[in-house]
């Protein structure tokens, strides 16, 4: 192996380690926050759906299967320009 390839490999490992540390901190900090509860109880699903449509995010990434069924009406009503 050349020196350049070893340096590149070390940089890749360092970047992966940095990402894993960040994920660990995020997971630890979010232990006390019930993100799903606020999404279900406090946010109008039309706002979330409009955001998904505007930014081309599949709503499967935001809502699980049961919430998709529950908020199917929001998908039909809200467009990317929906304003609450």
Active site residues: 42
Could you give the CA distance from residue 38 to residue 31 in angstroms, rounded to a whole number?
A: 14
How many secondary structure helices (H) and strands (E) does the chain include? 5, 0
Burial of 27 (0-12, 13-18, 19+ CB in 10 A): exposed
Could you give the CA distance from residue 55 to residue 49 in angstroms, rounded to a whole number?
A: 10
């Amino acid at each position: 192996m050349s020196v350049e390839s070893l340096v590149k490999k070390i940089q890749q490992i360092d970047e992966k380690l940095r990402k894993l540390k960040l994920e660990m901190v995020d997971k630890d900090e979010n232990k006390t926050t019930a993100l799903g509860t606020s999404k279900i109880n406090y946010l109008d699903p039309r706002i979330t759906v409009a955001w998904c449509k505007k930014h081309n995010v599949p709503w499967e990434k935001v809502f699980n299967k049961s919430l998709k069924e529950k908020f199917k009406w929001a998908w039909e009503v809200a467009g990317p320009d929906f304003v609450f």
